[in-house]
């Protein structure tokens, strides 16, 4: 069991309730990372489902839960022949923190009938760059859990030269060796810095809701995250991330709606 497996563990205590313990190691400057929190919720949902894989997950981020004990309440809305529908709520101190709708099914790993290609060709990993380690006082503990190697132009905002477009692209793997699974993918779809940093914006950009689809089980090896956005308007932006595995397969697709930071 890896540290990530442990940090996302969900222990059933009755028909509809799982105990979880939110780990301080997934903080992004205070709040816990949304992808990590979705992984925790999905552990409970998948355990409760007759199917193996969370093919679709939508989460609304109502509040920012703090590290420590919490519960996931699951309610099976329907279980059909090929898919089940579950409503799941992450609750802390009696208050709903995250509301999710999850569709589970069982993917077989069949060859795709059709697959498009990534919208961007990444340079090889050795030409990509790591971010400097965050200062301890920044409380960016998430950064230690994963290794991101960025396509250089998409991280140029750090040195003052944003590309002018919402974009962020990186290779991803867990720092502790672990083959990617659907829970790691939940983390991966929310692992990039906000795509709007590349468009010249800064500051805290809270996710309001995020939907992601698991499209295939990832092969072992590096994942590639291709992030972009279509519109920054009225204080809102969209962020889309595609996750491609080392075998060149599209394994996850996400879109989140987030608020533009004021910082």
Residues that bind a copy of itself (CB under 8 A): 55-56, 58, 60, 62-63, 77-78, 82-83, 85, 87, 96, 99, 101, 103, 105, 107-116, 164-166, 199, 201, 208-209, 211, 213, 215-216, 229-236, 238, 242, 250, 253, 255, 257, 259-260
Of 162, 240, 258, nearest to 201 (Cα)?
162
Q: How many CA atoms lie within 13 A of 37 on its CB side?
A: 34
Residue partners of 93: CB distance under 8 A and separation at least 6? none
Quick one: 100 or 145, whose CB is closer to a copy of itself? Answer: 100
Quick one: 2 or 96, whose CB is closer to a copy of itself? 96
What is the DSSP track for 188-207? HTT-SPPGGGGGT--S---E
Report, in Å, the least distance between residue 75 CB and a copy of itself.
10
- List CB contacts of 242: < 8 A, sequence separation 6 or more: 118, 119, 225, 226, 227, 250, 252, 253, 254
Is residue 178 classed exposed, middle or buried when 0-12, 13-18 and 19+ CB atoms within 10 A define those classes? middle
Q: How far is the CB of 257 from a copy of itself (least distance, A)?
A: 5
Task: Provide the minimum distance between the beta carbon of 111 and a copy of itself in the complex, in angstroms, as a whole number.
Answer: 8
Which of 7, 210 has the CB closer to a copy of itself?
210
**φ, ψ of residue 39 in degrees (nearest 5):** -60, -40
CB of 96 to a copy of itself, least distance (A): 6
Report residue 156 as tokens. 């140029």
Nearer Cβ to a copy of itself (147/238): 238
DSSP state of 152: G
Note the Cα 132 to chain centre separation in Å. 21
- What does the angle CA 55 – CA 148 – CA 245 come to, to the nearest 5 degrees? 40
**Cβ proximity to a copy of itself, 4 vs 229, nearer residue:** 229
HSE-up (13 A, CA, CB side) for residue 228:
7
Nearer to a copy of itself, 108 or 124 (CB): 108
Nearer to a copy of itself, 30 or 206 (CB): 206
At closest approach, how far in Å is the CB of 194 from a copy of itself?
13
| Smallest distance from a copy of itself to CB 3, Å | 31
CB of 17 vs a copy of itself, minimal distance in Å:
18
């Amino acid at each position: 069991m890896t540290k990530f497996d442990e940090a996302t563990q969900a222990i059933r205590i009755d028909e509809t309730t799982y105990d979880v313990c939110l780990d301080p190691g997934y903080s992004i400057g205070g709040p816990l990372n949304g992808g990590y929190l979705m992984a925790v919720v999905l552990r409970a949902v998948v355990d409760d489902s007759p199917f193996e894989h969370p093919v679709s997950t939508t989460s609304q981020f109502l509040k920012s839960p703090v590290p420590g004990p919490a519960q996931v309440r699951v309610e099976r809305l329907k279980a059909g022949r090929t898919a089940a529908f579950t409503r799941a709520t992450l609750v802390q101190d009696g208050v709903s923190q995250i509301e999710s709708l999850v569709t589970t099914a069982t993917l077989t790993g069949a060859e795709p009938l059709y697959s498009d290609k990534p919208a961007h060709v990444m340079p090889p990993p050795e030409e990509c760059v790591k971010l400097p380690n965050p200062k301890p006082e920044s409380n960016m503990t998430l950064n230690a859990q994963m290794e991101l190697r960025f396509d250089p132009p998409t991280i140029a905002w750090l040195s003052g030269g944003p590309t002018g477009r919402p974009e962020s692209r990186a290779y991803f793997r867990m720092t502790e060796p672990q083959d990617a699974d659907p829970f790691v993918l939940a983390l991966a779809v929310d692992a990039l810095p906000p795509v709007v940093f590349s468009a010249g914006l800064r500051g805290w950009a809270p996710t309001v809701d995020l939907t992601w689809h698991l499209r295939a089980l990832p092969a072992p090896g590096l994942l590639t995250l291709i992030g972009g956005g279509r519109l920054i308007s009225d204080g809102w932006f969209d962020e889309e991330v595609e996750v491609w595995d080392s075998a060149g397969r599209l394994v996850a697709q996400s879109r989140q709606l987030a608020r533009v930071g004021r910082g």
